[in-house]
Structure 1
Amino acid sequence: MPLPQLLTIALAEPSPLQAQIIRHALNELGIRNVDVFHSGQALLQHLQQHTPDVVISALYLPDMTGTELVYALRAQPAHLDRPFILISSETKPHYLNPVRQAGALAILPKPFTTAQLDKALGNVLEYLNSDPMLNECDEDFSMLKVLIVDDSATSRRLIRTVLEKIGFEQIAEAEDGSEAVPLINATHFDLVVTDYNMPHMDGKQLVEYIRTQSMQFTVPILMVSSETDQRRLAAVQDAGVSAVCDKPFDTAVIRQLVRQFVAERA
């Protein structure tokens, strides 16, 4: 399992100055295995023969965006689960939400602090090092059933990977609330993980349905969403969601919440 100082990084950053700043920050954390690429295509070509632990990218590259880069990664089976970190001065949700949906493990501001970078890499390590065989507390999760509801296939894939690393084996998926309802009516689930913004039937409507119309109205519901509107999130809380996590999410937080839900149900 990777140790912090042994992490290998592939960095896509067109600015030599910014690349130097990021490399210096990584060096301060003891990470020296950093390959820098000034375009997205150069990094993708590198990945044809190398498997870095983490890909870090700026949002704007000379030949593509960081968003296009992460989706290019997700299109390749070998890099479908590759940890991805975006570093950008962009703050508008319109630009950042697609990166969140693609399963980025962290989005850092530009400029960022060493503490912010350290936290992001800590999440990467938690993700890479999670192994149900190493933690007896997680072994019972293999007997539990979980439903993932998200209109983003890449987001579902990342959540599924994290849950599998925690120890879940019986995982069903739905693209939105309307597709989830028949599954909920036909199967007893021990946990539901849902997005907020989905077509046809969003996360709030799904929570309301589960709590008021389904036979399993006590099932724990974890919402993992990029939604930032506090009024909408408050409405979801009122509808009966068990907990809300941001995208990108912290793997350790997901693990802790799932354990808490399972313990409370037991």
Structure 2
Amino acid sequence: MSRISTDDLHILLIEPSTMQRKIIMHQLEDEQVMAIDAVRTKAEALEILDRIHPDLIISSLHYEDGSADQLLKFIRSDGAKADIPFMLISSETRREQLEVFKQSGVVAILPKPFNRDHLGAALNATLDLLGNDEVDLEMFDIDSVRVMVVDDSRMARRHILRVLQNLGIRHLVEAVDGSDAIRKLQTEMVDLVVTDYNMPEVNGAELASFIRHSEMHSHIPIMMVTSEAHEAHLKNIRQSGVDAMADKPFEPETVKQMLVSLLDRQ
């Protein structure tokens, strides 16, 4: 096991408000984060990213020369920077405005204003993502566990895969949606399916229903990772046969606990 601490983190903070920058920097320093590059604009952020590789980017939603979703899209498309953890701080509450971030594998979305608990949990999620903390299972050798990850968002899949790899899982199968997962399950034997809910053709609930009604696959545990907040949708998800649900964005420690629970009960 290897784990860094908050005082090892190098953070790039993008916040156009001078007052908000000072407040956030003070809160980070209270969490023992001392290496902070603070900028106001997208251009300044890109200039720093040309020179350094921060451990975490913390960003406001809007800048005078762009927005966080534009910056995140650029980062995720750059092979050298694609895996940098990204944390959004915003007063935005509209689901459609935040969905792009949830589907891009952000480590956290913090409200404005946020409290110390919010920040502490987000920093811990970052540390979990950057470190390695292999799962200790009673029923399985973690090196032998096979997991299928199903999500139509490449960036979300990449984030989930990284979390699972940090937990010691090496045998990973990717599916781009529910129909692709069903095809691959005809030839791939897996111990766990981790799936998104919203997908074209065959969604997560329909995939779960297929697995539960299949003689060959009905025993496979299913973890649903979803940004759905609508109670009717959540009820449908629960009734489709999933064994565990995690919100997007999720904390890696939550996935670890679910993984242990799902695999060691078989």
TM-score tier by shorter-chain length is over 0.9
**In the alignment, what sits opposite 2:169?**
168
Measure the CA separation in 1 of the matches of 2:131 and 2:243.
Answer: 27
Deviation at 1:137, TM superposition (A): 4.7
Measure the CA separation in 2 of the matches of 1:255 and 1:196.
Answer: 20
**In the alignment, what sits opposite 1:223?**
224
Measure the CA separation in 2 of the matches of 1:136 and 1:210.
Answer: 26
Q: Is the 8 A contact 1:13 1:38 kept in 2?
A: yes
Secondary structure of 1:78's aligned partner: coil
Unmatched segments (≥5 aa) in structure 1:
none
Matches within 5 A, 1:109-128: 109-128=111-130
**In the alignment, what sits opposite 1:232?**
233
The structure 1 segments of at least 4 consecutive aligned residues displaced by more than 3 Å after TM superposition are: 135-139
Measure the CA separation in 2 of the matches of 1:187 and 1:250.
Answer: 28
What percent of counterpart residues are identical?
37
Deviation at 1:216, TM superposition (A): 0.8
- Superposed CA offset, 1:26-57 (max 9, x none): 11112121111111222122112211111000
**In the alignment, what sits opposite 2:159?**
158
Between structures 1 and 2, the one with greater helix share: 1
Secondary structure of 1:215's aligned partner: coil
Q: Which amino acid in structure 2 is aligned with residue 58 of structure 1?
A: S
Q: Which amino acid in structure 2 is aligned with residue 129 of structure 1?
A: G
Paired residues, number: 263
Q: Which amino acid in structure 1 is aligned with residue 38 of structure 2?
A: V
- Superposed CA offset, 1:58-89 (max 9, x none): 01112221112112111111222111100000
Q: Is the 8 A contact 1:142 1:167 kept in 2?
A: yes
Measure the CA separation in 1 of the matches of 2:137 and 2:76.
Answer: 31
Deviation at 1:214, TM superposition (A): 5.2
Q: Is the 8 A contact 1:184 1:214 kept in 2?
A: no
Q: Cα RMSD (Å) of the superposition?
A: 1.5
**Is the alpha carbon distance of 1:56 and 1:131 closer, same or farther for their aligned partners in structure 2, counting shifts above 3 Å?**
same
Measure the CA separation in 2 of the matches of 1:12 and 1:168.
Answer: 34
Measure the CA separation in 2 of the matches of 1:3 and 1:213.
Answer: 45
**In the alignment, what sits opposite 1:38?**
40
Matches within 5 A, 1:43-54: 43-54=45-56
TM-score normalised by length of structure 1: 0.95
- Superposed CA offset, 1:217-254 (max 9, x none): 11010011111111111111111101110000010010
Q: Is the 8 A contact 1:108 1:116 kept in 2?
A: yes
**In the alignment, what sits opposite 1:71?**
73
Measure the CA separation in 2 of the matches of 1:2 and 1:63.
Answer: 34
Unmatched segments (≥5 aa) in structure 2:
none
Q: Which has the higher contact order (CA 8 A, sep 6+)?
A: 2
Q: Which amino acid in structure 2 is aligned with residue 153 of structure 1?
A: R
